Amino acid sequence: MNVSFYKYQGTGNDFIIIDNRSVFFPKSNNVLISNLCNRHFGIGADGLILLENDENSNFKMIYFNADGNESTMCGNGGRCIVAFAKKLQLFEHKTKFSAIDGIHYAEINDHKVSLQMINVNDIKVSGNSSYTNTGSPHHVEVVTNLANVKVVEKGREIINNYYQTEGCNINFVEQLNNETFKVRTYERGVENETLACGTGVTAVAIAMHFNKKSSSNRIELIVPGGNLEVKFKEDKGNYTNIMLLGAATFVFEGKIALP
């Protein structure tokens, strides 16, 4: 069977997106999904996203990591599926869709997608490290000389020491000024450094504000794949109206034969 697919990227975080409204895709075939995401023998991507119908919103997002397993929320993937849904003419400028962590609202203007993330009210801090869940679990580690950090080696070390049971995404962050931070991320499921992570930079922005390293509620995050922005409202440690902003770009489309 030949299947149409669409490739999108958000600040270098790239995804295979498939219109699965007719529910034909074999979602339980982890090996197939992993092979499609393989950069040598497949299409190549950080993850695969299915767009499906949803009774209570414009569409449903189902996200799989590059290892083939269904995963938690992906912020950049969420922005990319919004751009794809716009291409399918499922909405005009504003939309809402369901994902594994609930309903998300989004808006698109000139390829820039603003995506509302889940509220955050639980941030754990230990020394230079913080932990929170922004739709996916994230460890945030403040460092100096970010460019010299061995992200893969150090990321795996932190996971092995603290997060063996459920795994975790590991973000290394260097402060540039009150409103700007550089971030590099080791993503679980990809098991490597990625060029960007949407839920990751969201976690960084929240953690930096919570730890009083920033007094701003609008924070710029510089990642290897480009720039993202996170803005939010905060009241007594409760973070609401969290928005992840950045470009989501169509790369190419094609067909691939499924076994």
Residues assigned a catalytic role: 74, 197
> Given this model, what pLDDT does residue 22 score?
97
Which residues does 200 contact at the CB level (< 8 Å), separation at least 6? 75, 134, 136, 138, 169, 171, 183, 185, 187
Same domain assignment for residues 96 and 24: yes
> Given this model, what pLDDT does residue 14 score?
98
Question: CA 154 to CA 235: how far, in whole Å?
Answer: 34
> Given this model, what pLDDT does residue 259 score?
81
Same domain assignment for residues 148 and 102: no
Same domain assignment for residues 61 and 8: yes
Please tell me the total count of domains within the chain. 2
Same domain assignment for residues 147 and 235: yes
Domain, as residue range, for 60: 2-116+248-257
Confirm if 47 and 83 have CB atoms less than 8 A apart. no
Residue 180: give its domain's CATH number. 3.10.310.10
Same domain assignment for residues 212 and 160: yes
Same domain assignment for residues 84 and 193: no
pLDDT in tens for each of the 259 residues of the chain? 899 999 999 999 999 999 999 999 999 999 999 999 999 999 999 999 999 999 999 999 999 999 999 999 999 999 999 999 999 999 999 999 999 999 999 999 988 999 999 999 999 999 999 999 999 999 999 999 999 999 999 999 999 999 988 899 999 999 999 999 999 999 999 999 999 999 999 999 999 999 999 999 999 999 999 999 999 999 999 999 999 999 999 999 999 998 8
Which residues does 118 contact at the CB level (< 8 Å), separation at least 6? 73, 101, 102, 134, 135, 242
Same domain assignment for residues 154 and 48: no
> Given this model, what pLDDT does residue 258 score?
86
Residue 76 token pair: 């950049």
| Closest alpha carbon to 9 in 64, 69, 77 | 77
Question: CA 108 to CA 104: how far, in whole Å?
Answer: 13
Question: CA 224 to CA 227: how far, in whole Å?
Answer: 8
Predicted TM-score (pTM) of the model is: 0.96
Same domain assignment for residues 130 and 201: yes
Same domain assignment for residues 47 and 108: yes
Same domain assignment for residues 97 and 136: no
Same domain assignment for residues 136 and 78: no
> Given this model, what pLDDT does residue 165 score?
81
Same domain assignment for residues 128 and 240: yes
Question: CA 253 to CA 26: how far, in whole Å?
Answer: 20
